[in-house]
Structure 1
Amino acid sequence: MSFTQSDWLNFLKPNYKILPLKERLLSGFGALCGLAISSLLSWYVLGGMNAWYIAPMGASSVLLFAVPNSPLAQPWNVIVGNTLAGVIGVACVQWLPDLTTAFSVAVGLAIFVMMTTDSLHPPSGAVAITAVLGGEAVQRLGFYFVLYPVLLNSILLLLFAVFFNRLIGRHYPMTAHVNARSKDPTPTQKVSIQPKDIEYALEQHTELLDISQYDLEKIILDAQERAHGRLQNSFVCQDIMSRDVITLHENDDIHQALDKFKAVNIMSLPVVNREEKLVGTLALYEVVEWFKSATDPRNSWQHYVRQIMSRRVVTVEPLQPIQDLIPYFVEKSFNYIPVVENQRLIGMISRADMIAALQQQLSRQRL
């Protein structure tokens, strides 16, 4: 069997998902801003001292802005990994006279210590080498090299990464997918794959995977849910939604909104504009908080629903399978989810609607 040039290229290329152009541009722009801003802040913090950067910070920015979901890009790994590698590198250059021996031992020992402390961060290997081969300027700093440029620039770059990733809608740093109410598995985990199942599978593999246990679990659950959806006829959102929807207008007075909450006894209502397009939601607790702070002069300008409503709304489309809604009702305790078509609100699905639909599906399976 002969390999063509194309075959060899495909063999060498990783099985890696290529992100959309927008995500690639945002990753590059984030790294550009992160390095520039953290460098300027370093210069300011140090009172005008010449702020020089070390190459490993560029490598850290690749992880922080291109693959922030990676376990290797989390704050613990960036701060602790770079700091440990810096300490080890400085110690090796001081105690081992031969530079080849010094940087080889520094990198090997840094990898071992980082893996032992669960702080593995690939750019930290370059931090260890820089401490050894950085020249006279680095050697004069001694262990101060760990504080600056390593620790200071790591912290500044990390803080900007947190701000930037959240600004564009990414969840960073990643949080564990656990049950916030008890030590038990979440409701979905109880009837499907549980963390202990993932732990057992991972224990059978000694290789380090560049994905967190929680992300791996979510991917498996999503694939499992999609597979189940192919095996049975299911409802779509328009089949179970309520079409006679009670709404608030964005220009309603907050007192009017409270009266409507009292009349319908609902904890949250959708907010629409003049074109009947969904622009937000208002929860009863947000109205209560407004009344609590009404005497604060800083809030004296707030009189309308649009000024206190939540603009980030989870919505679904009319032809979307109802299985897509389960994580929101089960894991995140949603009470209602709006159904929109061309941004216009056409219905609402409540938790009771979901329970009725799922009960009907269970009845079908018994037949």
Structure 2
Amino acid sequence: MSRHTAIRWFSSFIPSPIAVRWPERLRSCLGALVGIAFTGGAMHVLLGPALGIPLLVAPMGASAVLLFAVPASPLAQPWSIIGGNLVSATVGVACASWIADPVGAAALAVALAICAMFALRCVHPPSGAVALTAVLGGPSIHALGYRFVAEPIFVQSVALLGAAIAYHTITGHRYPHAAFQGAASGPAQRIATPQASFTRADLEAVVNRRGELLDIDLDDLESLLRDIQLQAYARSFNQLTCAEIMSSPVVAVSVTTSVSETCRLLKQHGFKAIPVIDADHHVLGIVTRADLDGERTSSDKSIVRLSMQRWFKPKAASPLLVGAVMNPAVRTVCLATRFVDLLPLFANDGHHHIPVLDSEERLAGMITQADLIEGMYRHAYAEQWRAA
């Protein structure tokens, strides 16, 4: 590992700045104080000096972080804490009863708790600690058996949740985080948005203005929003297919075409890549200018090395053929592939030239980035003409 790579890797450990104002941070700290105090007090009032039942279990501290510091997170919503804690407590008690080895029981309890939380849509990270507590909590916890699920887990979960709802209501904070009124009620409902793109500064300004901690990194949020923009824009081209925008007919070569002839064709037509086909026009691979300029070949040998081998061997007088340098792992699409499905291939997967196949998997055309741009322009122009 080079020094530059190591520095960049260690730099990735640096936390992102928290876009939460200090009043909001203090409000979260005070909320956790109130929530934990109320939960412990409620247990004392309800159960009194009950022996063997803890007034507070450690996972409630982790739940308090989510409920008061990150209330917008899906992991902090009411069903997450109640359902997650109950199912994890049940799984933990069962594993502690069935498996004598505490390490094996703890590992299985956490794994099964996660599986159950996913199935019931109530993922709550502190619930993993609830499952561990049921297994490793000691004789007093084991003596409770399945009573541990109700007392203390259910009682404390409800008390902490009630404190969170009351506290957020009193301090004017939205919780639970249900959808805003007027949000889309179905997948087909449109949401009016401005056509202009956004910048990173716009994103940071909006997040700062909301004044709450979002359970997503800004880089991930920016990437998500840009993908949404791209998807929304591409949706307007939903009926546009490869058959309408591809370049056809296609100049192609065979595996027995010489490298020199292939270079001549690329230069003559101004191509950057050319497909390799067999006698039935089935695509066998693709060869690019990079392949012919000394990049890695399919056998991980450069053109120069192969040429030198042929030069010094008496039987290697024949010219170097495309079959030795082409890339057989070629991505293809069909004539009916939609424009909206092509965009991710070019934007995210790094493709620049994609052969198009007909219903019999024969080469019918070629899609390039230039074809995409031209297809977008023609479609947009046609839409404007129809609107006029």
TM-score by length of 1: 0.49
Q: Which has the larger radius of gyration?
A: 2
Q: Work out which structure has the larger RCO, using CA pairs closer than 8 Å and 6 or more positions apart in sequence.
A: 2
